């Protein structure tokens, strides 16, 4: 862990968390680190529960009438880090390439501030596992641990590499897209490369299918209805002179409309059925983790934006919707609230091996969110 004692405590925490990225529902070291920190805080108004590898924190208000909620996600990504950091990931093949190390640090900063200066109402801070997959928001919402602490309003944030530090961007209505993973397995008949007529080549079938999938967007979806189908990975075959018996396509679907998501999936199924017939093979489709849209409730989002617009220490931008996915949408389906983008000013985008967010954004977020909850609780 980082031993740079002169660093701001929250930056030290962020660097420690950056070194221990873990897959969804395997955030054992991360949970232990967070719990150890929480144990150092004054406990009079603090209640802590664990759920799987996540943590629920309640800070009791001085005269509580309602509960505000803040969510921070915890998991890392299967990416080999290529940053210039002196504190890189110590878990080979895993990296906090989506900013969850900052998200958790900000969550701890908010808890620290509110514990030391309690607000009138309760604050529930959720450290949620498995945002990147298979999805932790939906089962956490259904958990017994959260049932009697359910917030009346929810807030969350996501780092934004493209915005300068000090910038906060959001909008009411849809902010992030409906998303679905996509896995397609094709199984034919392998054989010797010299005798292609005796085999069913799944590399050829997979290549045909990739091209066909792109016609869904160009020929089945209204050009004014934003949608994305990306095949990010293809695997198939074992050797250059062996016809592939199996091939696998892995990708993602993004839409701003739930109905469009249904249409795309029905067209995928029709095209895959055609591949089965055309190549005399078998196919299986798995949609993996499916996340609903992040929809910011209009009244509370406008209220937040009006309040933020009166501050001179941050710049507020009204942004457009993005095709990114986030399982925070499950919270917003049930609880009024909003998510916002936090500027971290780095040339490399989310999920990039060289992502290096500006740590100055941590203090900005802690200050803004704690001030917002204090204002709401007046």
Instruction: Report d(CA 365, CA 310) in Å as an integer.
Output: 16
Contact 121, 61 (CB under 8 A): yes
Q: pLDDT digit string (tens) for 283-326?
A: 999 999 889 999 999 999 999 999 999 999 999 999 999 999 99
Residue 5 has pLDDT above 70, yes or no: no
Place of tokens 């395997």: 26
Is the torsion defined by CA of 101, 106, 109, 114 positive or negative?
negative
Architecture of the domain spanning 178-290 = 2-Layer Sandwich (3.30)
319 token code pair: 């942004």
| pLDDT score, position 289 | 87
Percentage of the residues of the chain whose pLDDT score is greater than 70: 99
Active site amino acids: 73, 132
Residue 35 has pLDDT above 90, yes or no: yes
| pLDDT score, position 263 | 98
Average pLDDT, the chain: 97
Percentage of the residues of the chain whose pLDDT score is greater than 90: 97
Q: pLDDT digit string (tens) for 344-375?
A: 999 999 999 999 999 999 999 999 999 999 99
**Residue 14, φ and ψ in degrees, nearest 5:** -60, -40
| pLDDT score, position 3 | 52
Mean local confidence (pLDDT), 145-161: 98
Instruction: Report d(CA 131, CA 103) in Å as an integer.
Output: 12
Mean local confidence (pLDDT), 4-31: 94
Radius of gyration of the chain, Cα coordinates, nearest whole angstrom: 23
Q: How many CA atoms lie within 13 A of 162 on its CB side?
A: 7
| pLDDT score, position 7 | 84
- Using pLDDT thresholds of 50, 70 and 90, give the confidence band for residue 1: very low
End-to-end CA distance of the chain: 40
Q: pLDDT digit string (tens) for 119-132?
A: 999 999 999 999 99
Higher pLDDT residue, 201 or 6?
Answer: 201
Task: Compute the C-alpha angle 154/160/163, nearest 5°.
Answer: 120
| pLDDT score, position 2 | 44
Is the torsion defined by CA of 214, 220, 226, 227 positive or negative?
negative
Kindly write down the DSSP assignment for every residue of 240-252, as one continuous string. Answer: TTEE-SEEEEEEE
Residue 135 has pLDDT above 70, yes or no: yes
Burial class (CB in 10 A: 0-12, 13-18, 19+), 277: exposed
- Using pLDDT thresholds of 50, 70 and 90, give the confidence band for residue 144: very high
| pLDDT score, position 97 | 98
| pLDDT score, position 342 | 98
Tell me, letter by letter, the H, E, C secondary structure of 114-166: HHHCCCCCEEEEEEECCCCCCCCHHHHHCCHHHHCCCCCEEEEEEEECCCCCC
Closest CA to 37 of 90, 135, 115, 100: 115
Instruction: Report d(CA 53, CA 111) in Å as an integer.
Output: 19
Closest CA to 253 of 285, 296, 224, 298: 285
Residue extents of the structural domains in the chain: 9-176+293-376, 178-290
Asked if domains 9-176+293-376 and 178-290 share a fold, the reply is: no
| pLDDT score, position 6 | 73
Burial class (CB in 10 A: 0-12, 13-18, 19+), 276: middle
The helix/strand/coil state of 28 is: helix
Q: What is the pTM of this model?
A: 0.92
Contact 201, 244 (CB under 8 A): yes
9-176+293-376: CATH topology = Aminopeptidase (3.40.630)
Residue 103 has pLDDT above 80, yes or no: yes
DSSP state of 196: G
Q: How many CA atoms lie within 13 A of 19 on its CB side?
A: 14
29 token code pair: 């070291």
Contact 44, 62 (CB under 8 A): no
Burial class (CB in 10 A: 0-12, 13-18, 19+), 116: exposed
Contact 243, 196 (CB under 8 A): yes
Mean local confidence (pLDDT), 216-241: 97
Closest CA to 264 of 232, 225, 301, 294: 225
């Amino acid at each position: 862990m980082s031993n740079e004692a002169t660093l701001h405590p929250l930056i030290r925490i962020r660097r420690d968390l950056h070194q221990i990225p873990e897959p969804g529902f395997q955030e054992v070291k991360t949970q232990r680190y967070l719990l150890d920190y929480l144990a150092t805080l004054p406990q009079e108004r603090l209640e802590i529960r664990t759920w799987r590898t996540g943590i629920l924190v309640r800070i009791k208000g001085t005269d509580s009438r309602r509960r505000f909620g803040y969510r921070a996600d915890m998991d890392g990504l299967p990416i080999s880090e290529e940053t210039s950091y002196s504190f890189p990931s110590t878990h080979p093949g895993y990296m906090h390439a989506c900013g969850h190390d900052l998200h958790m640090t900000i969550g701890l900063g908010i808890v620290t501030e509110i514990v030391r200066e309690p607000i009138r109402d309760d604050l529930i801070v959720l450290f949620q596992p498995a945002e990147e997959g298979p999805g932790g928001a939906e089962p956490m919402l259904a958990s017994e641990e959260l049932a009697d602490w359910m917030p009346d309003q929810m807030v969350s944030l996501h780092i934004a590499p493209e915005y300068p530090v000090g910038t906060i961007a959001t909008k009411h209505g849809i902010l992030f897209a409906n998303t679905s993973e996509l896995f397609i397995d094709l199984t034919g008949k392998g054989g010797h490369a010299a005798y292609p007529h005796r085999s069913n080549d799944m590399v050829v079938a997979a290549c045909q299918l990739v091209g066909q999938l792109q016609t869904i967007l160009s020929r089945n979806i209204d050009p004014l209805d934003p949608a994305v189908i990306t095949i990010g990975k293809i695997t198939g075959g074992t050797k250059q002179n062996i016809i592939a018996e199996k091939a696998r396509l892995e990708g993602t679907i993004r839409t701003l409309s739930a109905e469009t998501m249904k249409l795309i999936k029905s067209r995928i199924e029709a095209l895959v059925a055609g591949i089965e017939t055309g190549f005399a093979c078998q196919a299986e489709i798995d949609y993996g983790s499916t996340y609903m849209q992040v929809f910011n409730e209009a009244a509370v989002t406008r209220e937040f934006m009006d309040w933020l617009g009166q501050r001179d220490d941050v710049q507020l931008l009204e942004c457009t919707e993005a095709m990114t996915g986030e399982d925070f949408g499950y919270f917003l389906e049930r609880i009024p609230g909003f998510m916002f983008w936090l500027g971290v000013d780095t040339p490399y985008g989310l999920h990039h091996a060289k992502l290096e967010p500006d740590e100055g954004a941590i203090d900005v977020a802690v200050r803004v969110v704690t001030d917002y909850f204090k204002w709401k609780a007046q």
